[in-house]
Structure 1
Amino acid sequence: MDKFVESSWFVRIVALFLAVLLYISVNFDDFKLIQKADNSSQENSEVITDIPVQAYYDTENLFVSGMPDKVKVEVKGPKSIVESTKRLRDFELFVDLTNVSIGEHRVPIQHKQFSDKLEVIVHPETVNVMIEEKVSDYFVVSPEFNDNMLAEGYQEEAVSVDPKRVKVTGSKAALNRIVYVKATLDVKEKVDKETTGTAKVQVLDREFNKLDVKVEPETVQVSISVKNPSKKIALKVFPKGTPPKGVTVMSVKPEIDEITIYGKESVLKQMEQLVVPVEVHDIKKDTTLTVPIEVGEGLNFVSPQMVKVKVTVEGSPESEPEKESGE
């Protein structure tokens, strides 16, 4: 064994083994890079959504309808290029109508600025468009508001819009179909004060179908003012409950004869008086009570909210007979 260790062959084998280890350690990073390159070259497919489509045409004299707002595109190719394309979105989808005549046409959606290593499929691949002579006119905007969003007892006083007119551009046929140009104020909380918000202008035909036209400006400011109608009515009170035995309630009289109620006009018109009960089951002598005035349905406020009521009685509570001892 000692002779083998000391032999030249043993030295050569050890030297070869060490050389192999050194080679592997030096070139390990290169192996990883090669593996990474192999992975990046793997084929991959991704669908990119919500891609706008640009239309090229004579915008001064022509109007194009039927263009989709957004489409999706499928890209296939090396994984690294696919992922970069999806992340950067540095490409363009477009429809070239520069040499297309007036009328209805089916045209392809084209693309540019994609890597030539990618296969690109647009969904849909073609669109139907209508090219017509461009016309413009001004229309008055009708502001609207949902009455269900009014706070209890409040009602709409006035609704205004700024600007009052908008410019509508489209085909002559589309403008001839316009019946409604309106802007609806959308609120998230009940309205009990003057409120202003931004509303999108809608252009509709007789059947309330949205027309394919351009509106300038696209949004307007809608303001709503509300009112809280009020009315003075008579206040009446009556005793409720039974006083202690021996006590008789002679009268209950509030310190005021009128109160002011606030609420919907339709409710106020039907009310001439408000009758309030006064609890007397514990009254043993002449007393002045503070009685709350409760708001009924269709009302949202009453003034005053508390009323003093004088209760006049006769007699005194009868004493309970004493119990004999042993009972």
Structure 2
Amino acid sequence: MDKFVESSWFVRIVALLLTILLYISVNFGDFQLTQKADDSAQTNSEVITDVPVQAYYDTENLFVSGVPDKVKVELKGPKSIIESTKRLRDFELFIDLTNTSIGKHRVPIKYKQLSDKLKVTVIPETVDVTIEEKVSDYFVVSPEFNDNMLAEGYQEEAVSVDPKRVKVTGSKAALNKIVYVKATLDVKEKVDKETTGTAKVQVLDGDLNKLDVKIEPETVQVSISVKNPSKKIALRFFPKGTPPKGIKIRSIKPETEEITIYGKESILRDMEELVVPVEVDSIKKDTTLTVPIEIGEGLNFVSPQLVKVKVTVEGSPEGEPEKKNGE
């Protein structure tokens, strides 16, 4: 074995193996570099949505309308740079109006802090803006509430708003168009008690179009108080159905002849009595019944809900002897 290791053939074999390993190592590294270069050179494309736009102008004296809140940006270039840009979002889209005169203009949306290795397309590339002298005024807010959100039988008593006035800033032309400044309270459940919630202020023209103005504050507190009107009305009972043969209903007398009923005033206004049916199909003798008082649409409660009635009869069912009084 020692002789083989010391032989010239052993040295030649080891040298050959080292040469092969060195060749593979060098060429594999070149292959990886080539592959990375190919990957970085490959062009990818992606659209980023909801990118805010900043407008630069004299905010103290001018009002600008037409600037979109958000736009789209298409990026083309190496995938790694696109992914990094999407993740960091450290770039800015802006409109420079610092040296633009009052009036209507079509201006480009510019960008900064984007890699020069990317091809950037803003969608849209330009926008139409109007620059006007800025004016401000205070307007009274009208609180509103949808009556359909009231619980059955309840009605609106009062609606209030806090603050009562808001500051509206915009162009003189826009403020001259203002007809409505309102805040509508939106609720998820039917209202049967005093309720307060946050409502967004809307500034509208005579055709209910939203005007491009700035509102301070943008939201207000709207409160609604409700009431559940009531009225005392008479009860009247009548027999429903047909008693057994030989039986005649002589009278139906309730334990109470008056009830209190709750509901909308528009319904209660025309109600003077409530007519309640009493089932007499199976009545064969003088009987006291407990009758439930049912109410209709627009009403939500009645007191009492159950009334005892005494049903007095004459005669006896066929086939049965008639009982005399006291028997």
TM-score of the aligned structures, taking structure 1 as reference length: 0.87
* Structure 1 range deviating more: 222-231 or 19-28: 19-28
Residue 129 in structure 1 maps to residue 126 in structure 2? no
User: Identity percentage over the alignment?
Assistant: 85
* Structure 1 range deviating more: 15-24 or 94-103: 15-24
Taking structure 1 as reference, are residues 30 and 274 closer, same or farther at Cα in structure 2, changes over 3 Å only?
farther
* Corresponding residue number in structure 1 for 2:186: 186
Taking structure 1 as reference, are residues 116 and 252 closer, same or farther at Cα in structure 2, changes over 3 Å only?
same
User: How far off is 1:243 after superposition?
Assistant: 2.1
Matching residue's letter, 1:60? E
| Secondary structure class of the residue paired with 1:82 | helix
* Corresponding residue number in structure 2 for 1:227: 227
Matching residue's letter, 1:132? E
User: How far off is 1:133 after superposition?
Assistant: 1.3
Matching residue's letter, 2:128? N
**Superposed CA offset, 1:29-62 (max 9, x none):** 9866764564344210111111111011111111
* Corresponding residue number in structure 2 for 1:201: 201
Q: Distance in 2 between matches of 1:148 and 1:58?
A: 46
User: How far off is 1:141 after superposition?
Assistant: 0.4
Taking structure 1 as reference, are residues 230 and 23 closer, same or farther at Cα in structure 2, changes over 3 Å only?
farther
Q: Distance in 1 between matches of 2:25 and 2:285?
A: 107
* Corresponding residue number in structure 2 for 1:74: 74
Q: Distance in 2 between matches of 1:256 and 1:16?
A: 119
User: How far off is 1:87 after superposition?
Assistant: 2.2
The answer to whether the 8 Å contact 1:136/1:167 transfers is yes
* Corresponding residue number in structure 2 for 1:177: 177
| Secondary structure class of the residue paired with 1:307 | strand
Q: Distance in 2 between matches of 1:251 and 1:23?
A: 119
Q: Distance in 1 between matches of 2:36 and 2:220?
A: 55
* Structure 1 range deviating more: 144-153 or 217-226: 144-153
The answer to whether the 8 Å contact 1:186/1:199 transfers is yes
User: How far off is 1:131 after superposition?
Assistant: 1.3
* Corresponding residue number in structure 1 for 2:289: 289
Taking structure 1 as reference, are residues 27 and 248 closer, same or farther at Cα in structure 2, changes over 3 Å only?
farther
* Corresponding residue number in structure 1 for 2:214: 214
User: How far off is 1:247 after superposition?
Assistant: 2.7
RMSD: 2.6
Q: Distance in 1 between matches of 2:78 and 2:126?
A: 26
* Corresponding residue number in structure 1 for 2:250: 250
Taking structure 1 as reference, are residues 26 and 235 closer, same or farther at Cα in structure 2, changes over 3 Å only?
farther
Taking structure 1 as reference, are residues 100 and 9 closer, same or farther at Cα in structure 2, changes over 3 Å only?
same
Q: Distance in 1 between matches of 2:228 and 2:40?
A: 70
Taking structure 1 as reference, are residues 10 and 227 closer, same or farther at Cα in structure 2, changes over 3 Å only?
same
Matching residue's letter, 1:58? D
User: How far off is 1:318 after superposition?
Assistant: 3.5
Aligned residues: 314
The answer to whether the 8 Å contact 1:41/1:80 transfers is no
User: How far off is 1:11 after superposition?
Assistant: 9.5
* Corresponding residue number in structure 2 for 1:96: 96
* Corresponding residue number in structure 2 for 1:42: 42
* Corresponding residue number in structure 1 for 2:167: 167
Matching residue's letter, 2:82? V
Taking structure 1 as reference, are residues 314 and 133 closer, same or farther at Cα in structure 2, changes over 3 Å only?
same
Taking structure 1 as reference, are residues 36 and 277 closer, same or farther at Cα in structure 2, changes over 3 Å only?
farther
Which consecutive unaligned segments of at least 5 residues does structure 1 have? 1-6, 321-327
* Structure 1 range deviating more: 72-81 or 121-130: 121-130
